[in-house]
Structure 1
Amino acid sequence: MTKQTKNKGIQSLDVGISILDIFLKEGKALKFSEIQSLSGITKSNLYKYLYTLTQRGIVYRDPIENTYMLGNRLIEYGNAALNEFDVISRVNPFLKEISDHTSLTSLLAVWSHTGPVIASIRNADYGINIGAQMGATLPLNSSSGKIFSTFRQNKNQNWESKELNQLTKKERDEVLAEKEKIKEEKFTHSTEPLIEHISSFSVPLFDFKRELIGALTVVGYTPLIPNNPRDETSQYVIKTALKISKSFGFIEDHR
């Protein structure tokens, strides 16, 4: 019987994960030579790692550009980690409808142990840099963050306290003062929280227990993003969010 060495991991697995970390850090497609330079792995070994990762769908190789990038299989793993398969699959068609109707980027944010994260994105056809990507954690002062702060009270104190400490006093006061308005209107807007010229608005999604299951968010150039729930685009997204919530058993309160 082979004696196992205590506290020893599997080196080859560690190397494979380090390659994925390079893609995560660089945030773009990479050529073989770039990966080799950044990883320090010998060419022959790197080829074997990339071949295996590509075969498993964890890395994707573009045959035209001859570059490598993270594969779609990782999205499946991420969704499983969030335990939000049903929510994501049900919301995705609506994200497409919203982007097609508004020509803006739409996304779904769900809760994770690190705070609200982007679980699905439908980019506008013309493409913009929204300052975040799939799996990114969103800050409290983003429109998605404010939805979770308002409708998930007493369940995320650690995240909220940490986020508030990173804001200026003026920003903290504004975020806290806005909560009642968000609760009443079920709508919030955020001006350029992540990247200059890009703003967003968000509305909540509820289940049959009237508990928050996600934030439906629309992102685009600041002049195109409404800052109130009465705007035509806002109304369209609010009605879509209600339709999604009803699919999860939510009953609208008409009182």
Structure 2
Amino acid sequence: MNPEKNTTMIGSLQIGLGIVDIIANQNQPLKFTEIQEITKITKSNLYKYLNTLIHLNILYKDKNSGAYSLGSKIISYGMAAIGQQDLIAKVTPFLKESSLQTSLTTLFALWTNSGPVVANISNANSGLNIGAQIGTQLPVLSSSGKIFSTFDSPSIIEEWKQAEFQLLTADEKTTFLKEEEAIRLQRISFSKEPLVSHISSASVPIFNHNKDLLGCITLVGFSEIVPKQVKDEYSQYLLNLSNEISDLFGYKL
């Protein structure tokens, strides 16, 4: 891979993005040898490019197969670029409405190879530190993480869930697994201070016509305001919001 020489451009950046472009166009993960064969980059340099792109979350390396695919950051870039044609654009008006109705910050989270990631935020209070911004990866004990752990396909979330569980105590794991049963029945999850002290959250799933999980909507704010149980007013608001948005994608109870 030899970038065109131009004094107004950075050759190494061209090479790096060229690697990303190759992986994106193959429509399947590529192993190191396959990338090296296509790019003709020396092994030592290719390792440096790939490691840098992984560090930036632009690429993702599967621990089992060693194959490289697009990472969470490039996915968030792509979703931002698609505009009104994508999922985020359809959900965004509901985020804004929810923030106005509840005076809480509302998040929309999507699944990536690295786990659930914040895809969009509507802030009711721009000065409130919720511990997350667009692109933030969410832990399994966050209310969003609990939704993905409960409703997403086990084959998709297995590696992420195993890695997250290694960070939990035995008591936390036991409590979490019991909580998953309630989440599956009630279709709402709660989490107290998962990222920032005094900040809690509540989340609901968004499904499509195949009953696949598309993402989740989350209310975030001071712990004394955020709902803590399914019968709370804002919990019922979230559940109705979940049904309304899911209905847009053909989901039927």
TM normalised by structure 1 equals 0.68
1:196 aligns with 2:197: yes
Opposite residue 120 of structure 2, the aligned amino acid is S
Structure 2 counterpart of 1:213, one-letter code:
L
Letter matched to residue 98 of structure 1: S
Please state how far the C-alpha of 1:126 moved relative to its aligned partner. Answer: 5.3
* Cα distance in 1, alignment partners of residues 108 and 123 from structure 2: 12
Taking the aligned partners of 2:248 and 2:2, their CA distance within structure 1 comes to 51
Amino acid of the structure 1 residue aligned with 2:183: I
* Partner secondary structure for residue 133 of structure 1: coil
Matched with 1:215 is: 216
CA distance in 1, matches of 2:15, 2:182: 48
Letter in 2 for 1:151: F
Letter in 2 for 1:130: I
Q: How does 1:1-255 map to 2 (within 5 A)?
A: 4=2, 10-11=11-12, 77-79=77-79, 86-125=86-125, 127-154=127-154, 155-252=156-253
Residue 156 of structure 1, CA deviation: 0.9
What letter corresponds to residue 103 of structure 1 in structure 2?
Answer: S
Compare 96-105 and 152-161 and name the one that shifted more: 152-161
Instruction: Work out whether residues 79 and 85 of structure 1, in 8 Å CA contact, stay in contact via their aligned partners in 2.
Output: no
How much is the aligned-residue C-alpha RMSD, in angstroms? 2.8
**TM-score, normalized by length of structure 2?**
0.69
CA contact (8 A) 2:106 2:123 kept: yes
Q: Confirm or deny: 8 A CA contact 2:76 2:135 kept in the other structure.
A: no
1:112 deviates by 0.4
Deviation at 1:124, TM superposition (A): 1.0
Offset, 1:127: 3.0
- With over 3 angstroms needed to count, the CA separation of the structure-2 counterparts of 1:14 and 1:215, relative to structure 1, is same
> 1:136, 1:105 → 2: CA distance?
15
Q: 1:247 to 1:228 in 2, by over 3 A?
A: same
Give the aligned length. Answer: 190
Tell me: CA distance 1:77–1:183, structure 2 relative to 1, closer, same or farther (3 Å).
same
Q: CA deviation at 1:163?
A: 0.3
| Structure 1 residues 15 and 149, CA gap change in structure 2 (3 angstroms) | closer
Q: How much does 1:77 deviate? A: 2.1
Secondary structure of the 1:225 match is coil
- Residue by residue over 1:27-56, the C-alpha shift from the partner in whole angstroms, topping out at 9 and shown as x without a partner, is xxxxxxxxxxxxxxxxxxxxxxxxxxxxxx
Alpha-carbon distance change, 153 to 15 in structure 1, aligned in 2, over 3 angstroms:
closer
Gaps of 5+ in 1: 17-73
**Cα contact 2:96–2:122 (8 A) shared by 1:** yes
State the alpha-carbon separation in 2 of the partners of residues 110 and 233 from structure 1: 22
Q: Which amino acid aligns with 1:228?
A: Q
Pairwise CA distance, 1:125: 3.2
Using the TM superposition, give the Cα deviation of residue 244 of structure 1 relative to its aligned residue in structure 2, in angstroms: 0.3
State how far apart, in whole Å, the 1-side matches of 2:152 and 2:104 are.
27
Asked whether the equivalents of residues 205 and 244 of structure 1 are also in contact (C-alpha less than 8 Å), the reply is yes
Corresponding residue for 1:39?
none
User: 1:210 is paired with a residue of what secondary structure?
Assistant: coil
